[in-house]
Amino acid sequence: MEPAVTVESLLQQLTEASLNQAIPVLEQLRETGGEAMLPLFKIMLAGDLYYIKDTRQVVGKFETNGDTEYQNPLTGELITGLVSRDVKKIRVNNRLRNHLNGVIARIRLSSSDAAVREEAVKNLLSELDADTMVTIQSARDEETVSAVQEIMDLALAMYQLDTSTQQSDQLAAIEAIGGSLEDDARNVLRRFANMETDHSDYNAVVSQAAAKALNRIQERVEFYGFIDQLFFGLSLGSVLLLAAIGLAITFGVMGVINMAHGEMIMLGAYTTYVVQLIMPNLIDYSLWVAIPAAFLVSGLMGVLIERLVIRHLHGRPLETLLATFGISLILQQLVRSVFSPLNRQVASPEWMSGSVEINPVLSLTLNRLYILAFALLVFFALQLILKKTNLGLNVRAVSQNRSMARAMGVRSDRVDAMTFGLGSGIAGIAGVALSQLTNVGPNLGQAYIIDSFMVVVFGGVGNLLGTLVAAFSLGIANKFLEPVTGAVLASILVLVFIILFIQKRPKGLFPQKGRAAE
C-alpha cells in the first residue's frame, strides 16, 4: 500500500524537481492543500520561493524596511537566523508562471467571495483548456451570483467556439460572446473573423457572424470611449471651476485683475503638503484638515494683499495688474526659499486611490470623481453664501452700485476685503484638489491663471453660473481636441475660439443685466 501523499512530502518533491517536473507537483499541491496553498503559489509566482539547503524546508523571502526576512509560506511564521548562503531559490520560468496563474485562478473559483470568483474566471479566459472547462462547468452548476454566472457562461461559449465543429454551436457561441467587452472575447472573435479562406477550419457563415459581432462590440467600445473622454473633460472642468470661481468673485465685484490668484492656489497646495508633514500617520484624514487650513491660509493672504495694496489702487486697473503680478513673483520666491524649488509630492488618501470599474473598457478614477463632486459642492455652497447671507447681500450691493451701497451704510472697504479673502480662500481649496492630481511646486498656480481668466471672461464677468458652464465647456472641449490635435494645439484652438467668441459677445455667455452690467 502506497503511503499517503502529504503537503510536506510534495514540498520536498518541489525542491528536488526540475522545471519540467514541477507542474505535476504543483497540481498535486493544489488538489491536496486547496485554498491553503494560495500564499505559496503567489510567492512562487513572484519568484521569492526558496528552500533551506540543509533541511529542504520551503521558505518565502520578503523585504521589510530594507531587511531580508524568511517566513514559512503557509503559516507566515518568521524563520530567524537565515542568510542568503543558507537558502537556494526554486527556479520559475514563463511556462511555470503561466501554469501558476491558472492554478491560482482555479483555487479562487471556490472562494466564498463572489468578486474573487469573478476575477478568477477572467484570469482563466486567456488559457481555456479541457481541465479548466471541467472546473468552470462544475462551479457554474453551483453558482448563484448573476455576474459570476455571466463570466462563466462567456468562458464556456469561448471554449465551445474554439473546439466545436458544428456550425450551429459556433453561431450560438458567437451570439453569446458578442455581448461581452472582455479583451479575450474580442480576440477570439477577431481570430474567426479574420480567418483565411484556405484555412482547414474556415466557414464563411461563422466568419461573417464573428465579424458582425466584432463590429457590434467595437461600436460599444467607441461609445464607452466617448464616455471616458467626457469624464476626463468634466474632471478638467472641475479643476478649472475651482481655480476660476474665486477669481470670478474678485474680478466681478471689485474689477481687480488679480495676477496673484494662481499663487493663492499654490499656497493651498503647499498647505496640504505641510499638513501631511505634520500628520504623517493620518494621511486618510489629512485632507479634512487641509481643506479648512488652505482656505484660511490663502484667505488671510488675500485679505492682507487687499488691505496693503489693492485698496490703494481702486480705479487704476493697469497698476493693480502690475502690483499683483509683482506679488505673485514675491510669493513664488518665498515658497522657493522655504520649501526649495523642487516639486513636492502629496500622498493621496486610501479612500481616493483606485478606480470604479464600470465594465472592462471603462473605469473612473476615484480621485477625479471626488474632485468633481467637491467642485460642485463648493460651487453650490458659494451660491448659498452669496444669496442667503448678509455678506452675500453686501457683495451683490457693492457689485451693482458701489456708491449707492455706501450711501445705504454698507462698508464697501470691509466688503472688498472679505470678498478678496473669500475668493483667495476658494483658490486655496482649489490647491488642495490639485495636490491630488499633480506635484506641488512654486509654479503650480501659473499653469492655471490664464485658464482661469479665460473661464471668467467666457462665462461672463461676475456670473457664477457662467463660470460653471464655461469651466466644464472648456474642459470638455480640451479633452476632445487633444487626441486629434495634441495638447498644445488644443489649448491654442480653445484660446482662438474664445477670442472670436468675445468679439461677438463681449460680455460672455451670461452677461450681467440691469445696474450690475454697468
- Between CA 25 and CA 30, with CA 27 as vertex, the angle to 5 degrees is 110
Spatial contact of 431 and 291, defined as CB atoms under 8 Å apart: no
This prediction's pTM: 0.76
**Of 117, 76, 126, 119, the residue nearest 98 (C-alpha):** 126
Query: Which amino acid is residue 479, in one-letter code?
Result: K
Higher pLDDT, 185 or 135: 185
Q: What is the pLDDT of residues 187-199, one digit of tens each?
A: 888 888 887 665 6
Instruction: Name which of 174-183, 403-412, 447-456, 482-491 the model is least confident about.
Output: 403-412
Beta-ladder partners of 59: 50
* 290 has a pLDDT exceeding 80: yes
Helix/strand/coil for 238: helix
Mean pLDDT of the chain: 84
Instruction: Name which of 97-111, 295-309, 331-345, 422-436 the model is least confident about.
Output: 97-111
Q: Distance between CA atoms of 490 and 225, rounded to whole angstroms?
A: 19
Residue 514, pLDDT score: 46
Q: Distance between CA atoms of 353 and 107, rounded to whole angstroms?
A: 28
Cell of 181: 467587452
Q: In this structure, what is the dihedral angle of CA atoms 234, 235, 240, 245, given to the nearest 10 degrees?
A: 80
Q: Helix 446-459 crosses helix 487-504 at what angle (to 10 degrees)?
A: 30
Cell of 173: 457561441
Spatial contact of 49 and 62, defined as CB atoms under 8 Å apart: no
Q: How confident is the model at residue 340 (pLDDT cuts 50, 70, 90)?
A: confident
Q: From the CB of residue 404, how many other CB atoms can be counted at a distance below 10 Å?
A: 12
Residue 191, pLDDT score: 85
H-only helix segments in 34-145: 38-45, 94-108, 114-124, 130-142
Cell of 507: 460680455
Q: What is the pLDDT of residues 45-63, one digit of tens each?
A: 888 888 888 888 888 888 8
**Contacts made by residues 15-24, CB under 8 angstroms, sequence distance 24+:** 15/51, 15/56, 15/58, 15/90, 16/56, 19/91, 19/93, 19/95, 19/96, 22/96, 23/95, 23/96, 23/99
Q: Scanning the structure block, which residue is given the C-alpha cell 508633514?
A: 277
**Of 119, 353, 364, 370, the residue nearest 224 (C-alpha):** 364
Q: Scanning the structure block, which residue is given the C-alpha cell 505634520?
A: 278
Once rounded to an integer, what is the mean pLDDT over residues 478-492?
83
